[in-house]
């Protein structure tokens, strides 16, 4: 009996020891599970944070692309120059620019215009206007009339006008030519500043600056605005306003007789460097019989006659 009780006691002690061991093993396992759950949660949070950051980065890049689409093009020289100027301007305000800024070089037109002389007496029949001498702003002759000659321009056109003294002389010249069996037609006389401006700008647009400056005057520098000049032509060849006009009977007569009526052929052949214009045997200018005779005899230009060299 005692043995049985003894065995039971031993079994009880054994069972209690096993139970305590199981409890001890269970506790570390639970702690391990808890730690693993915490690690997993930390990892998941880190991954979520990383994903959110990547999403923000992508969103920010897309926003920049939308707002700066124009920056995809290459920078032009003009952009570079503008940036340099901005940087230079900003630095110069503080006097610390590291780049030497060269002064602007004025273009030829500005330089030429600044050197042009405004004539003192635009009403004189001896007035000289050319590329270095211009009429006063707003000048318009007050004695413009229409001479009684044949015209190419339609009635009412300002090109039919001349100042009174030149108009009378032109009538006499046409009469003299008619007595010699020749038939002239007046093509273009007075031109206002505005009209000359249109002609010059059209010439530049159609033929280029160099050509325009050889054959057309800038507004304010045209003899036609003085009311003392007229382009004439042969009635049979009215369209021939070119150097070949000198080969016509009218052209030859004009070159030899215009001075008798107070006119000169204003732009002579071989004098382009002085007058500034190419040869125009059709363009006559009234200066009065005395001066016209001297200019003709010397075969010179008005610039040379009055010592006004360019």
Active site residues per annotation: 280
CB 309 within 8 A of CB 274: yes
Strand 280-286, strand 229-234: pairing: antiparallel
CB 128 within 8 A of CB 119: yes
Distances in Å between the alpha carbon of 203 and those of 230, 242, 300?
19, 16, 28
Instruction: State the sign of the Cα–Cα–Cα–Cα dihedral 42, 47, 51, 54.
Output: positive
Q: Which of 226, 230, 215, 217 is nearest to 279 (CA)?
A: 215
Distance CA 126, CA 295 (A): 12
């Amino acid at each position: 009996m005692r043995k049985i009780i003894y065995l039971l006691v031993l079994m009880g002690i054994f069972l209690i020891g096993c139970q305590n061991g199981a409890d001890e093993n269970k506790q570390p396992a639970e702690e391990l599970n808890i730690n693993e759950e915490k690690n997993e949660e930390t990892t998941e949070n880190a991954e979520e944070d990383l994903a959110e950051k990547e999403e923000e980065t992508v969103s920010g890049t897309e926003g920049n692309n939308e707002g700066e689409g124009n920056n995809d093009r290459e920078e032009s020289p003009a952009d570079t120059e503008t940036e340099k100027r901005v940087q230079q301007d900003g630095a110069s305000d503080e006097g610390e620019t590291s780049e030497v800024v060269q002064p602007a070089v004025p273009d030829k037109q500005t330089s030429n215009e600044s050197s042009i002389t405004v004539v003192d007496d635009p009403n004189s029949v001896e007035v000289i206007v050319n590329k270095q001498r211009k009429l006063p702003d707003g000048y318009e002759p007050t004695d413009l009339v229409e001479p009684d000659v044949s015209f190419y321009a339609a009635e009412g056109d300002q090109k039919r006008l001349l100042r009174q003294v030149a108009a009378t002389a032109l009538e006499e010249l046409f009469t003299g030519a008619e007595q010699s069996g020749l038939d002239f037609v007046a093509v273009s006389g007075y031109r206002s500043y505005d009209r000359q401006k249109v002609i010059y700008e059209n010439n530049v647009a159609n033929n280029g600056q160099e050509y325009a400056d050889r054959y057309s005057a800038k507004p304010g520098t045209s003899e036609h605005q003085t009311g003392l000049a007229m382009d004439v032509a042969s009635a049979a060849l009215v369209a021939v306003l070119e150097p070949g006009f000198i080969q016509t009977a009218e052209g030859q007569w004009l070159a030899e007789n215009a001075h008798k009526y107070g006119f000169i052929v204003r732009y002579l052949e071989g004098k382009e460097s002085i007058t500034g214009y190419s040869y125009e045997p059709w363009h006559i200018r009234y200066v009065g019989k005395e001066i016209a005779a001297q200019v003709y005899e010397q075969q010179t230009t008005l610039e040379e006659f009055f010592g006004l060299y360019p």
